[in-house]
Amino acid sequence: MDTDGGEALIRAMIREVMAVAEAEGYPMEESVIEQNIDGTRKMPAYKNSMALDYLNDRPIERDAVLGNVVAIAKRHGIAVPHLNTVLVTLKMRASLEARA
């Protein structure tokens, strides 16, 4: 989150997830965003599961983490440009790695 633009990106991605959750009948309070940001800032440095997959030469669980949300968003006609960009970027990287 401390990368220039990182926190704004994370906030946008959380908002996209919240829109999808609401469409599925699970609305969330706007305060969830601050709770997640604040909670993450209080945690010691860590690597998320996708980073650990990458660092340990395992397939990144992009569909479990991002793909399902993007698919549900598509089903509801909800635009999730940030989530989709990250998902597509990970797919592109996997495709390049498969060719190497």
- pLDDT tens for 29-59 read 999 999 999 998 999 988 888 889 889 988 8
pLDDT band at residue 91 using 50, 70 and 90 as cut-offs: very high
Q: What is the pTM of this model?
A: 0.88
Domain ranges of the chain: 6-99
Return the number of other C-beta atoms located less than 10 Å from residue 86's C-beta: 18
The residue type found at 36 is: N
Nearest Cα to Cα of residue 81 among 32, 7, 17: 17
* Domain 6-99 in CATH 1.10.1040.10: yes
3-state SS assignment for residue 78: coil
* Residues composing the chain: 100
**Distance, CA of 82 to CA of 7 (rounded, Å):** 13
